[in-house]
Structure 1
């Protein structure tokens, strides 16, 4: 299982020059939350996007999971798979009152097999607006250099 790591913000040049092999950050956006994530693999990039989504509204470091959820996203194009995973995270927060503290993503046959380690929302400190959806506007997910990156707007 991969813990949901965080990265520090900064100027784009500093991030590109010093960013770790995998990570995520929030970038300024007028009304919603814009996240960027990157990693050596497509699956790890999705894990980072989940971490960025959750990290924008909850402090989950050190919180132990109390349940897990498994689901399959896809099959479909890579960007659709990313949206499907993030949509499921938002759905679980909204309907079950639970959010992921860790994620594992594995490639399936044109799909993604996802396992989320979950905790009840009342067990974490909320630090921002809870997400309401994933926007398709200016969505990006694909190869970048030797790895993968994505950029997503989260509706709050």
Structure 2
């Protein structure tokens, strides 16, 4: 799939780090696709099992800050709890933030296939609406 054609994601070549792109008709869908793109760069979640449901809120901010907040939470949970999201649902909150609902699994339940991200780079970060929906491009430090 290409940006502007429904929902999708991909990783693209980038020197020494990992670069992901995601797109969807709306902001929340684009964030969910970005999470999936991030996880796919380092884990094969096929057959990961049921996992546990978790939810958290990202406080209001500009769109790029919201995206970074969600991706940073993926890294935080990896580092502190050894879990990663295998499904992501994102909705807007009344306060302008985001509510994120995940199905999380233990990293031992998946096959690690790449370098685990250590941080979300702010340089070359792009996230916003366009004529055919929302898209983002993010570099992940590995």
TM-score under structure 2 length normalisation? 0.94
Indicate which of 99, 106, 131 corresponds to 1:120: 106
Q: Give the aligned length.
A: 141
1:45 maps to what in 2?
30
Is the Cα–Cα contact under 8 Å of residues 49 and 109 in structure 2 kept in the other structure? Answer: no
Q: Deviations over 1:126-153 (max 9, x none)?
A: 1000111101011000002130000000
List gaps (5 residues or longer) in structure 1.
1-6, 8-14
Q: Distance in 2 between matches of 1:62 and 1:145?
A: 37
Runs of 4+ aligned residues of structure 1 deviating over 6 Å after TM superposition are: none
Indicate which of 113, 138, 141 corresponds to 2:127: 141
TM-score under structure 1 length normalisation? 0.86
List gaps (5 residues or longer) in structure 2.
none
- 2:30 alignment partner, SS class: helix
Q: Deviations over 1:75-103 (max 9, x none)?
A: 10000000000000110011100000001
Matches within 5 A, 1:2-151: 15=2, 20-108=5-93, 109-151=95-137
User: CA RMSD, aligned part only?
Assistant: 1.3
Q: Deviations over 1:39-98 (max 9, x none)?
A: 001000000000000000001134233212211112100000000000001100111000
Is the Cα–Cα contact under 8 Å of residues 46 and 110 in structure 2 kept in the other structure? Answer: no
